[in-house]
């Protein structure tokens, strides 16, 4: 199968390319100028230079393809560089959907995110808008909603590595966020960390599973973990012990609202909102695809000790 991919040079994208190439598919990847070094050396991968905002480049990526994959997602905006949730997660996805349809692709796989139904932040509302655009199209679609994704970062931004660098390696105590006046539930909100290899496998398996057409699949690891447990697991895997203290959002939130615009500040106000809302799966999206997801444990976190 010929597959056009947008977002293939990112963290998740690099693993999706591996999984699809291993399945014998021929891949064409849209790649921003200057990102050539991020493209893996796979014989079945062809590069198209361009930007998701360039319709002609998107058309060149999808022309003659049987399927299209859209993986772009960002955690922070950089408006001065044109990096916004609306530009990349909504308008970019809508453009890709329209071009894929016009180019004759029948299948479309979209990377969305778990927990976005709250629609409480621009990150969530733009992901929801992309989902609605795909559902309204005549394409045979599958939407994936992963929780927080972890795994060897391959030199890219990754959930656990980022927390290690910004919170565990810091000389300051790690924050156990909580709402309200009393820290009775500090750091108790739960996430469902999912391994990047399992997310990539889900994309590959969906192309072989007709039953996944028209489905929105939530992707979480086999267990839910509290924020405190996740930080403890990252610290242990890094060979460290870490002091953790309750951190009231009523104090940190206003600071994050102002300082979150800077990359060096560890969290934005919207990220706090989404964290405190939790991120676990109601339904298991892996079982219909025949995938048993990896646990969040010392073995799967071993890369934190080696830095690889």
- Over residues 161-183, the pLDDT tens digits come to 999 999 999 999 999 999 999 99
pTM: 0.95
- CA nearest to 85, candidates 59, 112, 49, 114: 112
One of 3.40.220.10, 3.40.50.720, 3.40.50.280, 3.40.1710.10 is the CATH number of 2-151+194-221+281-289, namely 3.40.50.720
For the chain, what are the domain ranges? 2-151+194-221+281-289, 159-190+224-279+294-306
pLDDT digits (tens, 9 = 90+) for 133-142: 999 999 999 9
Residue 35 pLDDT grade (very low, low, confident, very high; cuts 50, 70, 90): confident
Instruction: Tell me the per-residue pLDDT of 193-247, one tens digit each, with 9 for 90 and over.
Output: 999 999 999 999 999 999 999 999 999 999 999 999 999 999 999 999 999 999 9
State the pLDDT at residue 308: 62
Is residue 34 scored above 90 in pLDDT?
Answer: no
Q: Is the per-residue pLDDT at 42 higher than 80? A: no
Mean pLDDT of 268-278: 93
In this predicted structure, what is the pLDDT of residue 15? 97
User: Rounded to an integer, what distance in angstroms lies between the CA atom of residue 75 and that of residue 160?
Assistant: 14
Q: Read off the pLDDT band of 267 (50, 70, 90).
A: confident
> Residue 170 and residue 187: Cα distance in Å, rounded?
18
State pLDDT tens for residues 82-113.
899 999 999 999 999 999 999 999 999 999 99
Give the residue among 51, 143, 65 at the shortest CA–CA distance from 100. Answer: 65
């Amino acid at each position: 199968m010929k597959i056009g991919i947008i977002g293939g040079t990112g963290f998740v994208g690099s693993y999706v390319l591996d999984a699809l190439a291993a399945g014998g598919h021929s891949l064409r990847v849209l790649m921003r100028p200057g990102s050539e070094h991020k493209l893996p050396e796979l014989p079945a991968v062809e590069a198209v230079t361009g930007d998701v905002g360039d319709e002609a480049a998107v058309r060149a990526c999808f022309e003659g393809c049987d399927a299209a994959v859209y993986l772009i997602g960002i955690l922070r905006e950089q408006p001065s560089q044109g990096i916004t949730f609306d530009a990349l997660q909504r308008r970019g996805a809508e453009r890709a959907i329209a071009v894929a349809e016009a180019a004759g692709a029948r299948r479309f796989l979209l990377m969305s995110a778990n927990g976005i139904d709250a629609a409480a932040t621009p990150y969530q509302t733009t992901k929801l808008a992309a989902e609605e655009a795909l559902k309204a199209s005549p394409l045979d679609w599958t939407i994936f909603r992963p929780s927080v994704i972890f795994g060897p970062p391959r030199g890219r931004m990754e959930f656990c590595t980022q927390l290690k660098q910004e919170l565990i390696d810091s000389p300051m105590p790690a924050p156990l966020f909580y709402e309200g006046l009393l820290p009775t539930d500090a750091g108790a909100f739960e996430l469902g960390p999912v391994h990047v290899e399992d997310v990539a496998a889900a994309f590959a398996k969906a192309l072989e599973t007709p039953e996944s057409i028209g489905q929105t699949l939530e992707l979480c690891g086999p267990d839910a973990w509290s924020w405190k447990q996740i930080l403890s697991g990252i610290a242990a895997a890094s060979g460290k012990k870490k002091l953790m203290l309750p951190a009231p959002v009523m104090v940190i939130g206003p600071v994050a609202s102002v300082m979150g615009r800077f990359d060096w500040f560890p969290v934005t106000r919207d990220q706090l909102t989404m964290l405190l809302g939790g991120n676990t799966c109601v339904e298991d999206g892996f079982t219909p695809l025949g995938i048993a997801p990896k646990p969040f444990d010392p073995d799967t976190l071993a890369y934190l000790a080696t830095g690889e």
